[in-house]
Structure 1
């Protein structure tokens, strides 16, 4: 497996974790790290960036056999 694809998959997984963590913190009104609903959006936005950059990296990397 290509190193770029592996890194893209890792970014995608981290993005999913960030999206879930941000949504959970937003629903609960903030957690220990992110106090308040607006600061709970920070891990959500970072998760979105990681997710879409990981998906883009996986899609645009050509297979070399």
Structure 2
């Protein structure tokens, strides 16, 4: 229950599917980065710069350069 899926109140339209996909993306990114414990991986990436770094994005220069 790292992402509190049972507490979500979004039940209309495509919102539940979109939230599920976003959750899966985060889980897979943490797994690929080597995190065995998802909760500690999430806590370690609460800073936006660290979260971008997890996906290989640097805030120092634009991605298209």
Q: TM-score, normalised by structure 1?
A: 0.38
Structure 1 or 2: more helix by fraction? 1
Higher relative contact order (CA 8 A, sep 6+): 1
Q: TM-score, normalised by structure 2?
A: 0.38
